[in-house]
Chains A and B, each alone.
Chain A
C-alpha cells in the first residue's frame, strides 16, 4: 500500500524557515518524480515544486523560486521541502504527492506563518 506521511509543519514567524519531510513507502520511491502541492485555508490547490526520480531536475512555481528548495533522499525514501523567507501568504496545508500527476497524496502538514 502506497503511503506518504508528511511531517515538520508548525507555526513560524514571517521571515523564518521550516523544513518539511515526507516519508514514502509501499512503492519504489526512486522510480517516481515527486511533488509538493499546497492549499491555503479555504482555497484551491497550488502546485509548488516537483523533482525528477534521481533529483537531477527540479521545477518550481515562480512565487517560491529562490525561497523554497525541493530535495530527495532515495536511500531513505524521503522527500523534503526547505522553506526560507516565509511569508504570511505561505500559510497552507502542504501535501506530498507521487508523480507529476499526483496519483497518491499524503494527509498534509499545516504550516502557519504568523507573528
Chain B
C-alpha cells in the first residue's frame, strides 16, 4: 500500500492552524473492522514519536491541539494552533496490511 502525503513542506505562522493530508493506494479498513492509520512526529535530531493511532486516537500525553480524521483512503492530521515545539517532520503510517508503509513525510516549519 502506497502512502502519499501532501504537502511535503508546510510553512506555518505560530498560533495558526496546520493541516496535513495522507492518501492510501487502497482502503485501510482491516478485516477486523479497524482502520490502522497512524500519525507520527519526528522532531529534529529525535526518533519518531507516535501521536495518533487508528485514525483519531491521541496517544496519552499528546496535546489536544492535534487531531486526526478520515476514512477509507483519505486521512488528515490537523494542528489547531501551531506552537514552536511542533516543528519537525510528520509521517502517516499504515499497518493494516504487511508490508507496513509510511508516507514520505511533511516538514512543518515556522514562517
Contacts and interface: CB of A to CB of B under 8 A. Distances in A.
A72 B103 CA distance: 28
Contacts of A11: none
B47 A105 contact: yes
Interface residues on B, range: 20 to 34
Contacts of B63: none
Nearest to B96: A100
Interface stretch (A16-24, A40-48, A77-85): A40-48
Contact of A44 (B49, B100, B104): B104
Given A44-B91, A101-B53, A59 B99 contact: yes
Contacts of B50: 101-105
Interface of A: 35, 37, 44-47, 50, 59-62, 95, 100-108
